[in-house]
């Protein structure tokens, strides 16, 4: 193949000819295919190159190039509008292979007033084992304290710690205790010195079985001062989500009704483990882990007292934990596993960003990836300024820490 012209418009060559030996096939390469314009011999070609024959070819080509350039520019502009960049600042493990437990899972992260990070998780022989307790480390990338067991109420499995800081700076560590998820209890401990010391553990709602208060993700403080805890119930493999509200700083809690769910819409077990944010006073939203292959959503217009029926989003979800945080500029940052099979792969784990209150999402960063059977899951995410901090389970062997800036 021989090119008789090397001039270029932005999107494609001006004219390309393939010769066999004296016959030329004139084509214009257009993105994705070639446009056939005709076949000429050497004499015709020499004449055509001078003036008349080439004119319609040039006009056709210019129009096609303008179309292609416009398409490229439009795509680029759309990407510029929707694509958000994330700058990696730090990536670390909270501990190494020398750990006092065989497995670990379900971490939670909080930034303390002294600028360090508290990270908690459950650890033991394996999930559900009676020796599983709640473990804690404090520090920053490259300098973490040795993990210590901060909560072990009795010889039953402990689950799903959740760290939460109120407006006074007090830190609450919520966690579950019980042999089964169906009948676990919610307990909590409080620290008033950035996690150095902790109070005795108390039940959040004495006598409750099934799990009041935060089930896995952090509570939020609403614009009217109400504490809103994302909660769910998994009794008899029927999953339901709700919220617990406290208007007195966590002393008492009132649970909402379960969010409405049409179980005939291929939802399977249902929805659990909400992740919450408030977009405007009283306007509260939740994203939900589901068994439907996608992340689901519900909305409230009355500070979380009542909720819309659950509806599906376009975000994939392999029935794995998610979390979300809202930046000061109203940007939402979601951490999730992008697989759309129920009980599908928990690899990779990714960030997605929304600038329109969760209507559309842009995949922004991949934090970890391995084989399909590897697990990078149950994340926790917080934000301060334009920076996000994330922790997540790393193959049930470590807790990974990731720090990045949203650009």
User: CA 239, CA 340: separation in Å to the nearest integer?
Assistant: 19
Higher pLDDT, 43 or 370: 370
pLDDT in tens, 255-310: 999 999 988 766 789 999 999 999 999 999 999 999 999 999 999 999 999 999 99
Work out the pLDDT band at 106, boundaries 50, 70, 90: very high
**What is the percentage of the chain residues whose pLDDT exceeds 70?**
79
Cα dist. 24→38, 44, 65, 392 in Å? 8, 10, 22, 61
Residue 222 pLDDT more than 80? yes
Residue 77 pLDDT more than 50? no
Can you give the pLDDT at residue 84? 55
Domain residue limits, the chain: 16-82, 86-406
Q: What is the pTM of this model?
A: 0.80
User: CA 9, CA 16: separation in Å to the nearest integer?
Assistant: 13
Residue 92 pLDDT more than 60? yes
User: CA 330, CA 310: separation in Å to the nearest integer?
Assistant: 23
Average pLDDT over residues 95-121: 97
Find out if CATH 2.120.10.10 is the number for domain 86-406.
yes
**What is the percentage of the chain residues whose pLDDT exceeds 90?**
77
Can you give the pLDDT at residue 265? 65
pLDDT in tens, 312-371: 999 999 999 999 999 999 999 999 999 999 999 999 999 999 999 999 999 999 999 999
Going by C-alpha positions, the residue among 339, 208, 330, 355 that lies closest to residue 277 is 330
Residue 160 pLDDT more than 80? yes
């Amino acid at each position: 193949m021989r090119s008789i012209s090397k001039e270029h418009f932005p999107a494609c060559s001006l004219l390309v000819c393939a010769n066999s030996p004296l016959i030329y096939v004139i084509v214009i390469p257009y993105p994705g295919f070639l446009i056939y314009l005709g076949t000429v011999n050497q004499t015709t070609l020499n004449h055509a190159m001078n003036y008349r024959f080439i004119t319609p070819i040039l006009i056709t080509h210019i129009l096609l190039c303008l179309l292609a350039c416009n398409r490229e520019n439009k795509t680029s502009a759309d990407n510029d509008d929707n694509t958000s960049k994330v700058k990696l600042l730090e990536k670390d493990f909270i501990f190494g292979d020398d750990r006092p437990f065989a497995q670990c899972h379900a971490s939670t992260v909080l930034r303390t007033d002294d600028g360090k990070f508290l990270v908690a998780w459950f650890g033991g022989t394996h999930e559900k084992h009676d020796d599983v307790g709640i473990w804690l480390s404090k520090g920053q990338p490259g300098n973490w304290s040795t993990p210590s067991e901060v909560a072990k109420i009795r010889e039953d499995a402990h689950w799903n710690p959740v760290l939460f800081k109120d407006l006074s700076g007090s830190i609450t560590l919520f966690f579950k205790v019980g042999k089964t998820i169906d009948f676990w209890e919610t307990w909590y401990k409080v620290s008033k010195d950035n996690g150095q010391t902790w109070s005795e553990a108390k039940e959040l709602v004495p006598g409750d079985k099934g799990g009041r208060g935060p089930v896995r993700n952090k509570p939020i403080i609403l614009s009217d001062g109400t504490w809103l805890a994302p909660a769910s119930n998994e009794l008899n493999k029927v999953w339901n989500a709700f919220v617990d509200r406290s208007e007195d700083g966590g002393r008492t809690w009132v649970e909402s009704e379960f969010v409405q769910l049409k179980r005939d819409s291929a939802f399977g077990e249902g929805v659990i483990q909400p992740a919450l944010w408030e977009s405007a006073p009283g306007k509260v939203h939740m994203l939900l882990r589901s068994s439907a292959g996608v992340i689901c959503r519900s909305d409230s217009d009355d500070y979380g007292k009542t909720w819309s029926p659950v509806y599906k989003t376009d975000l994939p979800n392999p029935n794995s934990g998610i979390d979300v945080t809202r930046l000061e500029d109203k940007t939402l940052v979601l951490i999730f596993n992008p697989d759309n099979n129920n009980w599908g792969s928990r690899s990779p784990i990714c960030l997605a960003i929304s600038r329109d209150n969760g209507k559309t999402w842009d995949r922004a960063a991949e934090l970890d990836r391995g084989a399909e059977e590897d697990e990078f899951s149950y994340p926790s995410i917080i934000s301060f300024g334009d920076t996000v901090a994330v922790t997540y389970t790393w193959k049930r062997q470590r807790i990974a820490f990731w720090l990045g800036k949203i650009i």
